[in-house]
C-alpha cells in the first residue's frame, strides 16, 4: 500500500515538473549540445556546407596567438577585478554597516545606482571621463601636476582602466550582499568578545570574517563567473584595443562568430571557456566544502 | 463545477484569440508588408521614416515597418536573421559584406527598370560600387569617403600655411607636438576607420593593399612603410573611437578625416567658427579611400514583396529624396543631376570634388572583414607604440597571407 502511494506521489511530482524540465532543457541543455555539435564542424554562417572536422576548430583555437592573448587578458581582468571587488566591497560594506540610518540608506542607494544604470550609457560616460585631452580625470590630475594618462589608449593601463569602470558598475551589488551578511551576525557575539577583552582587529578576524565566509564564498564564485565573461565594458570602451591589448575571450567569441561568421570556431572557443569556468568553479566548491568540515 | 468553469475559461480564451487573430489578418488583407532595416543615426533615421511614410501614402497597398539597430550590432543582426529566415526585406548593407551575401544568394539582383535607372543616372564610380560579378545588386544610399575637414583658424593662429601634402602636415604635426591644448592633425588611432584612413595614405604614397590576383598582401613595401610612418605622425593615440572628431569640434584639432554623413556634428559645434571639407592632400598621387552603403533586397520573399521592396528602394533613391537626404544629412549625391544641384553647398562640395579621387578601398573577397581586422589590429598596436611600423606591417602581412590562402 505504502509503495503504491509513494509511486503515485513520484508520478505526480514528475508529471508536475515535466513542463518546466522540458522548458529548461529547451533553453539551457539543447543549446549546449547544439553548440558542441557546431564546434565539431567547419561551420560558417550563411554557408550551406558544414564539414565535420572533429576537434579541428579546438586545435586551431589553441594554436591561435590572438586567442591565447585574449585568454591571458581575461585571467588578468578576472583576478585583479576579483581582488578589488572583495577588498573594496568588504571595505564599503563595513563602512556602511558602521553608519546610522538614514545615512546608511542614502549611501546604499548611491553605491547601488550604477548597477541599475545601463552598461552602455555608463561606458560612454567613462569614455569621456578617460579622454586624455578633455576628460575630467586628466583635468583633475593636472591640478596635482601629473601628466595626462592615455587611459584607454595605452596597452599597459587599458585593462586596469576598464577594471575601474567595471568596479564602479558592479561593486554595488556585492556591497549590498556583504552588508546583508554583516547585518545577520548577531550583536551578542561582539558584546561577548568585547567583555573577554577582544579589540577591533580580533573581532574582525575572529568573528566577522568567519561568519561572513559563506557570503564571501558566494561573491568569490559569482564574481569569477561574471568576470570571465566580461564583454559589454570592453565592447563599449575599447573594442578589444588598442590592437589586442584589452581583448577578452567573450569579445573573441563575438568577433569570430558574428564578424567573421565562423560560428564553428566561435563555438569551440565558447566551449573552452565553458570548460575552464566549470573546472574553476568545481575546484572552488571543493575547497570551500573541505574548509567547512572542521 | 470546477471542471466546467475551467472548460468555459479555455473556450472563452480560444474564442478571443481567434477573433483577434482573424481581425488582424483581415485588416492586413491585400497589403504588402515590408520590413526595412538600417543602423541608428537619429537625423538619418528620422528622414528615412519620413520618406517611408511618403512612400506608404503614395502606395496605400504597401506597409513599411522600419527598424534600426545600433551600428555595431547591424552585421550580427542581419546575419543571424538571414540565417534564421527572419531577415528584413530591405536591408542597409556595407559594400564589404556584399560578396558573401551575393555568393550565398541572399540578396536579389536588381530588376531591369532599376538597373536602367542606375546605369542612366549614376556616376561610373557609383555603378561600379554596386556591381558584383557583373550584375547590379542594390541602390547606393551613400558613399563613405572620408575626406579632410579643415579648421583654417588654427593654422591662421599658428601663422602657418595649410600644407598640400601629407608629409607637409606630418612636418607641422611634429613642429607643434609640444602643444598640450591642440593637435595639428587627428587621424583615427583606433577603431573602424583606421584601415580606410591609412589606405588613403598608402595609395597616395603609391602602395597597394593586396596583389592584383588578391592572393597576397602587398602593403609591406617601402611605400607602405612611408605611409605608416606618416600616419603615426598624423594620428594621436589618445583619441580613441570618434574622439578625434570631438577634438575637432571643440577646436582642438586642425585636420580630421570624416564622412559626409557627419555634417550635423560639425554644424552644431558652438566652438568652431569656420571649417570646410576639401579634397585630401597629395603625396605621389591624390587618392581617397571609400566604401558604399547600399540598399539591398532580400531574396527570401514573395515576388510581390520583392517588387514592392525594389519600388521602395527606388523611391528612396529618386532625385527628390536623394537631394533632400544630401541637403539635410549631408550625403554625397550620386545621381549626376544632384551633383549639379548641390554644387553650391559648401559642405557637400568638398566631398563631391573628392569623389574624383575616390577608390573602393576594400577588395571584393568574402573574408575581407577578417583581412581588415588583422591589418587594423597591427596598425593600432604601432600607433599605441606597442610595436614598430616594420613589425606591424610584417605581422599583418603574415596574418593576411595566411587568410588569403
Which of helix, strand or coil describes residue B1? coil
Using CB atoms, pick whichever of B75, B246, B367 lies closest to residue A258.
B75
- Are B398 and B375 within 8 A, CB to CB? no
Rounded Cα gap, residues B41 and B242, in angstroms: 14
Query: How much is the pLDDT for B33?
Result: 94
Contact B188, B196 (CB under 8 A): no
A130-146: pLDDT as tens digits: 887 778 898 898 888 88
**What per-residue confidence (pLDDT) applies to B39?**
93
Residues in chain A within 8 Å Cβ distance of B93:
none
Architecture of the domain spanning B33-144+292-344: 3-Layer(aba) Sandwich (3.40)
B361, B368 Cβ separation under 8 angstroms:
no
Residue among A45, A241, A255 minimizing CB distance to B190: A241
- Integer distance in angstroms from the first to the last C-alpha of chain A? 44
DSSP tag of B324: H
List the domain range (segments joined by +) for residue A31: 24-292
Q: What angle do CA B27, B29, B31 make, to 5 degrees?
A: 100
Instruction: Give CA–CA dist B353/B339, Å, rounded.
Output: 10
Q: Which residues of chain B have a CB within 8 Å of the CB of A235?
A: 72
Residue at grid coordinates 556595407? B94
| Alpha-helical runs (H) found in B122-262 | 124-129, 152-158, 166-175, 194-204, 222-234, 243-249
Q: Within a domain: residue A160? A: yes
Task: Count up the domains in chain A and report the number.
Answer: 1
| A134/B101 touch (CB, cutoff 8 Å), yes or no | no
Residues from A in contact with B at Cβ < 8 Å: 45-48, 66, 127, 131-134, 148, 150, 152-155, 235, 238-239, 241-245, 254-255, 258-261
Question: Could you tell me if B146 and B358 are in contact, meaning their C-beta atoms sit under 8 angstroms apart?
Answer: no
Minimum distance, in Å, between the CA of residue A16 and any CA atom of chain B = 18
Q: Residue A1 falls within a domain, yes or no?
A: no
DSSP B108: P
In a domain, A171, yes or no: yes
Q: Measured between CB atoms, does B299 come within 8 Å of chain A?
A: no
Chain A contacts in chain B segment 78-97 (CB below 8 A) = 79-80, 82-83
Distance CA B333, CA B344 (A): 13
Give residue B241's pLDDT: 55
Q: Mean pLDDT for each consecutive 10-residue tract of chain B (405 residues)? A: 64 65 54 93 92 95 94 89 92 92 92 91 81 90 87 92 93 88 86 92 95 95 97 82 78 89 84 87 90 91 92 91 83 72 76 85 90 95 93 96 92
Look at residue B177 in the predicted model and tell me its pLDDT. Answer: 86
Q: Which residue of A has its CA nearest to B84?
A: A46
The residue among B376, B190, B370 whose CA lies nearest residue A255 is: B370
- The string of pLDDT tens digits covering residues A38-77 is 999 999 988 888 999 999 999 999 999 999 999 999 999 9
- In chain B, where does the domain assigned CATH 3.40.190.10 lie? 33-144+292-344, 147-290+367-404
Q: Do A133 and B72 touch (CB under 8 A)?
A: no
Residues B102 and B133: beta-carbon distance below 8 Å: yes
C-alpha–C-alpha distance, residues B107 and A11, integer Å: 53
Q: Find chain A residues with C-beta within 8 A of B369's C-beta.
A: 259-260
Render the burial of B286-303: b for 16+ CB within 10 Å, e for the rest: bbbbbbbbbbbbbbebee
Q: What is the spatial distance between Cα B361 and Cα B376, in angstroms, rounded to a whole number?
A: 14
Contacts of B94 (CB under 8 A, 6+ apart): B75, B144, B291, B292, B293
Q: Could you give the residue ranges of the DSSP H alpha helices within B85-161?
A: 98-103, 112-121, 124-129, 152-158
Domain for residue A14, yes or no?
no
pLDDT of res. A293: 44
Distance CA A91, CA B215 (A): 58
Q: Tell me, what's the pLDDT at B27?
A: 45
C-alpha cell belonging to residue B81: 536573421
Q: Which CATH architecture group holds B147-290+367-404?
A: 3-Layer(aba) Sandwich (3.40)
Q: What are the φ and ψ backbone dihedral angles of A168, each rounded to 5 degrees?
A: -55, -40
Angle at CA of residue B372, ends B124 and B76, nearest 5°? 90
pLDDT at B380: 93
Question: From the centroid of its chain, how far is CA A170?
Answer: 9
Phi, psi values for residue B278, rounded to 5°? -150, 165
Residue B382 and residue B396: Cα distance in Å, rounded? 11
- Tens-place pLDDT, residues A185-200: 998 999 998 888 888 8
Neighbouring C-beta atoms of residue B252, cutoff 10 Å: 21
Over chain A, what is the mean pLDDT? Answer: 90
Q: Do A258 and B79 touch (CB under 8 A)?
A: yes
Using CA atoms, how far residue B47 sits from A54, B257, B327, B328, B363, in Å, is 50, 25, 11, 8, 31
Q: Tell me whether residues A243 and B380 touch, CB distance under 8 A.
A: yes
Is residue A94 included in any domain, yes or no? yes
A197-235 pLDDT, tens digit per residue, is 888 889 999 999 999 999 999 999 999 999 999 999 999
pLDDT band for position A2 (cuts 50, 70, 90): low
Beta pairing, strands B135-136 & B139-143 = unpaired
- How much is the pLDDT for B5? 65
Cβ neighbours of residue B217 closer than 8 Å, sequence gap 6 or more: B209, B210, B211, B396, B397, B400, B401, B404
Looking at chain A, the whole-number percentage of residues with pLDDT higher than 70 is 97
Mutate to test the interface with A, among B106, B240, B375 (most CBs of A within 10 A): B240
pLDDT of residue B332: 75
- Mutation site, B104, B190, B375, interface A, largest A CB count within 10 A: B190
A25-48: average pLDDT: 91
pLDDT for B345 equals 77
CATH number at residue A251: 1.10.3720.10
DSSP for A168-226, please give it. Answer: HHHHHHHHHHHHHHHHTS-HHHHHHHHHTT--HHHHIIIIIHHHHHHHHHHHHHHHHHH
Does the residue A233 lie in any domain? yes
Amino acid at each position: 500500500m505504502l509503495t503504491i502511494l509513494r509511486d503515485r506521489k513520484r508520478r505526480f511530482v514528475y508529471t508536475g515538473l515535466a513542463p518546466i524540465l522540458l522548458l529548461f532543457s529547451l533553453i539551457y541543455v539543447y543549446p549546449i549540445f547544439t553548440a558542441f555539435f557546431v564546434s565539431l564542424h567547419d561551420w560558417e554562417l550563411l554557408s550551406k556546407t558544414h564539414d565535420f572536422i572533429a576537434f579541428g576548430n579546438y586545435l586551431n583555437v589553441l594554436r591561435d596567438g590572438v586567442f591565447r592573448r585574449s585568454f591571458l587578458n581575461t585571467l588578468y581582468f578576472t583576478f585583479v577585478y576579483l581582488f578589488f571587488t572583495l577588498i573594496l566591497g568588504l571595505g564599503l560594506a563595513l563602512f556602511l554597516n558602521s553608519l546610522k540610518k538614514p545615512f546608511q540608506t542614502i549611501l546604499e542607494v548611491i553605491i547601488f545606482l550604477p548597477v541599475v544604470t545601463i552598461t552602455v550609457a555608463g561606458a560612454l560616460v567613462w569614455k569621456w571621463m578617460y579622454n586624455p585631452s578633455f576628460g575630467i580625470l586628466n583635468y583633475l590630475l593636472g591640478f596635482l601636476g601629473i601628466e595626462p594618462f592615455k587611459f584607454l589608449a595605452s596597452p599597459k593601463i587599458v585593462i586596469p582602466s576598464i577594471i575601474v569602470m567595471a568596479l564602479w558598475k558592479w561593486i554595488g551589488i556585492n556591497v549590498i550582499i556583504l552588508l546583508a551578511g554583516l547585518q545577520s551576525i548577531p550583536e551578542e557575539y561582539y558584546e561577548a568578545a568585547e567583555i573577554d577583552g577582544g579589540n577591533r582587529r580580533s573581532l574582525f578576524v575572529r568573528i566577522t570574517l568567519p561568519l561572513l565566509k559563506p557570503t564571501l564564498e558566494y561573491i568569490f564564485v559569482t564574481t569569477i563567473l561574471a568576470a570571465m565573461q566580461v564583454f559589454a565594458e570592453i565592447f563599449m570602451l575599447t573594442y578589444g584595443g588598442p590592437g589586442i591589448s584589452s581583448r577578452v575571450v567573450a569579445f573573441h567569441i563575438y568577433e569570430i562568430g558574428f564578424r567573421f561568421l565562423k560560428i564553428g570556431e566561435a563555438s569551440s572557443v565558447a566551449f573552452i571557456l565553458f570548460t575552464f569556468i566549470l573546472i574553476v568553479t568545481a575546484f572552488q566548491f571543493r575547497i570551500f566544502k573541505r574548509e567547512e568540515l572542521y | 463545477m470546477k471542471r466546467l468553469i475551467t472548460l468555459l475559461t479555455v473556450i472563452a480564451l480560444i474564442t478571443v484569440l481567434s477573433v483577434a487573430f482573424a481581425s488582424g489578418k483581415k485588416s492586413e488583407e491585400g497589403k504588402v508588408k515590408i520590413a526595412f532595416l538600417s543602423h541608428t543615426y537619429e537625423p538619418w533615421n528620422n528622414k528615412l521614416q519620413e520618406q517611408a511614410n511618403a512612400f506608404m501614402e503614395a502606395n496605400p497597398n504597401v506597409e513599411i515597418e522600419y527598424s534600426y539597430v545600433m551600428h555595431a550590432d547591424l552585421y550580427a543582426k542581419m546575419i543571424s536573421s538571414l540565417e534564421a529566415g527572419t531577415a528584413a526585406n530591405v536591408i542597409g548593407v556595407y559594400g564589404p559584406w556584399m560578396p558573401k551575401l551575393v555568393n550565398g544568394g541572399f540578396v536579389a539582383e536588381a530588376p531591369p527598370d532599376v538597373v536602367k535607372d542606375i546605369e542612366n543616372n549614376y556616376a561610373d564610380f557609383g555603378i561600379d560600387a554596386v556591381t558584383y560579378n557583373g550584375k547590379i545588386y542594390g541602390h547606393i544610399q551613400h558613399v563613405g569617403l572620408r575626406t579632410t575637414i579643415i579648421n583654417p583658424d588654427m593654422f591662421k593662429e599658428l601663422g602657418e600655411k595649410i600644407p598640400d601634402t601629407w608629409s607637409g602636415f606630418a612636418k607641422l604635426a611634429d613642429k607643434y607636438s609640444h602643444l598640450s591644448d591642440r593637435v595639428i592633425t587627428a587621424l583615427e588611432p583606433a577603431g573602424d576607420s583606421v584601415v580606410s584612413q591609412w589606405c588613403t595614405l598608402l595609395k597616395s604614397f603609391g602602395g597597394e593593399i593586396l596583389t592584383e590576383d588578391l592572393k597576397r598582401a602587398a602593403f609591406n613595401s617601402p611605400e607602405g612603410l612611408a605611409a605608416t610612418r606618416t600616419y603615426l605622425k598624423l594620428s594621436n593615440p589618445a583619441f580613441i573611437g570618434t574622439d578625434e572628431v570631438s577634438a575637432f569640434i571643440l577646436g582642438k584639432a586642425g585636420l580630421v578625416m570624416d564622412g559626409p554623413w557627419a555634417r550635423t556634428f560639425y554644424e552644431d559645434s558652438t566652438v568652431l567658427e569656420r571649417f570646410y571639407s576639401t579634397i585630401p592632400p597629395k603625396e605621389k598621387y591624390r587618392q581617397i579611400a571609400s566604401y558604399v552603403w547600399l540598399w539591398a533586397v532580400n531574396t527570401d520573399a514573395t515576388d510581390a514583396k520583392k517588387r514592392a521592396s525594389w519600388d521602395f528602394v527606388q523611391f528612396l533613391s529618386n532625385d527628390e529624396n536623394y537631394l533632400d537626404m544630401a541637403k539635410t544629412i549631408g550625403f554625397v549625391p550620386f545621381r549626376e543631376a544632384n551633383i549639379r544641384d548641390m554644387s553650391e553647398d559648401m559642405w557637400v562640395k568638398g566631398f563631391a570634388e573628392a569623389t574624383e579621387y575616390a577608390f573602393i578601398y576594400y577588395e571584393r573577397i568574402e573574408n575581407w572583414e577578417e583581412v581588415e581586422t588583422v591589418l587594423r589590429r597591427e596598425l593600432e598596436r604601432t600607433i599605441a607604440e606597442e610595436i614598430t611600423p616594420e613589425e606591424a606591417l610584417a605581422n599583418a602581412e603574415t596574418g593576411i597571407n595566411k587568410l588569403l590562402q
